[in-house]
Amino acid sequence: MRRARGSRSRSLADPGRSARGLRTGCGAEKAIELRDLSREGLAKAFENLKSVDTGGLRKALSYGATCQEKVGVTGSTIWKIDTTQPIALATVADVDSKLAKDYKYCP
């Protein structure tokens, strides 16, 4: 099968991908490893992801079976282009939401 002109294959670890894409890809890879691509298998795969390295795009994301194991995003990063950096981006500032950090996700 021919690929579209200009397209290229990208690894899940390629920092050019979005954090959401990395998360989804890691979940799918785990489901394949567990040999279960059903809805339940994908859910179980995410429960087994304890840390997802986003390649510097965000802090590591964590998933799990319990609320306490899940670590979501509570802020954002402001970037600037810097071709001397490994992902061609440099952090200008990390902006954390106090409201999100203080929110009680787990009962």
* pLDDT value for 3: 40
Of 19-23, 31-35, 70-74, 91-95, the least confident = 19-23
Q: Kindly state the average pLDDT of the residues 56-79.
A: 77
**The whole model's pTM is what?**
0.46
The domain locations on the chain are: 19-102
Q: What is the pLDDT of residues 4-52, one digit of tens each?
A: 444 343 444 444 455 555 556 677 888 888 888 888 988 888 888 777 7
Quick one: how far is CA 104 from the chain centroid?
Answer: 22
Strands 89-96 and 75-81: antiparallel
pLDDT score of 23: 58
